Structure 1
Amino acid sequence: MSWDVSVQRFGKEYESIADIPDTERCMELGSQTEIRRVISPFFPGVDWSDSTWGIFDSDDGSVEFNMGGDEPSTGFMMHIRASTKIVPTIVAMCRSERWQALDCSGGVFLERAMEPNSGLEDWATYRDHVTGRT
């Protein structure tokens, strides 16, 4: 179980998923190698031993980067099991590349959200309820 965030770039930056026209297509982010070069400074120590599935572990939690196999890539998924301390790093990474990070549970772009932590907080509450954590 994770909080899932999908990362893409569009022809323009959208305020919400509802603003994306049916004719919009994801733009290329670059090669898998280029994308890993962007991610790694924001998440130092990512284990890229499987180049299609990076794993970042820290005291604040973990992020798995599901890169898929497309070359060049038009997006990737982040599977997050971490505290809200990780969210500003995700937002900063996306802003640096004009990427948009879609909170799959809430349908909002993190870099546009008034409260980008809310999806992760909701996920943590649900996780704690399901697993019996208090």
Structure 2
Amino acid sequence: MSWDVLLLPVPARFGSLAGLPDGWSPGPVGGRDRVLAAVRQAAPETDLSGPSWGLLTGPAWSVELNIGEQDPVESVMLHVRGGGDGVLPVIHRLAAALGRRAIDCSGGEFLTEGDTGNRHAFQEFRDRVLADPPGTAPHGNGPGGRGLRGPGGGPGRHGLGGAAPARSRHAG
């Protein structure tokens, strides 16, 4: 189970996702070579040996970077696993290197420097789910219920729900 953070080119003039106009659609993150170079610059220890995925491992966390195979790259989804807040500066470095904003998918808001977003609530939710016997886990899309998904679990009004172009290659 991962805490997901989406890196998208959302202009700074928008203070929240709710402020985006109806029908708004982000442009691409950038050309594939530029995106990979920016990731290497922000986090040189990232394993980018796969064609569409990267892996970054810290002392108490790991981040799978879902970059996709398209050129230009449409979005970068970070699948964060593990505990603690040590991963937050890495997320902000990646977002800054790409010139993008980080969206906390469990709460549907921008993740800003010095703010943990819904990270703690997600970790508590994850710990409860993993501690519950099979068949008794709470329902919903994380601690906030829907996150970026609209009614029925589909995309929200801006089409950001399920924005990762592919499923995680690792379970859990």
TM range (shorter): 0.7 to 0.9
TM-score w.r.t. length of structure 2: 0.68
Q: Secondary structure, in 3 states, of the residue corresponding to 2:5?
A: strand
Q: Is the 8 A contact 1:95 1:111 kept in 2?
A: no
Task: Decide which structure has greater helix share.
Answer: 1
> Partners of 1:19 and 1:34 in 2: how far apart?
29
**Alignment gaps of 5+ in structure 2:** 133-172
User: What is the aligned partner in structure 1 of residue 92 from structure 2?
Assistant: 91
Q: Is the 8 A contact 1:3 1:120 kept in 2?
A: yes
Q: Secondary structure, in 3 states, of the residue corresponding to 2:21?
A: coil
| Cα root mean square deviation, aligned | 2.0
User: What is the aligned partner in structure 1 of residue 131 from structure 2?
Assistant: 132
Q: How big is each residue's C-alpha offset from its partner over 1:22-65, in whole Å with a ceiling of 9 and x where there is no partner? A: 24221222122211111123223211111301011121310000
- Change in 2 beyond 3 A, CA 1:34/1:96: closer
Tell me the CA shift for residue 96 of structure 1.
Answer: 4.3
- Aligned pair count reads 130
**Alignment gaps of 5+ in structure 1:** none
User: What is the aligned partner in structure 2 of residue 68 from structure 1?
Assistant: 68
> Partners of 1:98 and 1:41 in 2: how far apart?
13
The AA in structure 2 aligned to 1:124 is Q
User: What is the aligned partner in structure 2 of residue 16 from structure 1?
Assistant: 16
Q: Is the 8 A contact 2:56 2:62 kept in 1?
A: yes
Q: Which has the larger radius of gyration?
A: 2
2:117 is the alignment partner of 1:122 = no
Task: Decide which structure has greater strand share.
Answer: 1
| Sequence identity percentage | 28
> Partners of 1:97 and 1:33 in 2: how far apart?
12
TM-score w.r.t. length of structure 1: 0.85
> Partners of 2:64 and 2:93 in 1: how far apart?
17
Q: How big is each residue's C-alpha offset from its partner over 1:66-111, in whole Å with a ceiling of 9 and x where there is no partner? A: 0112210121110001421111221233234431111111011112
Q: Which has the higher contact order (CA 8 A, sep 6+)?
A: 1
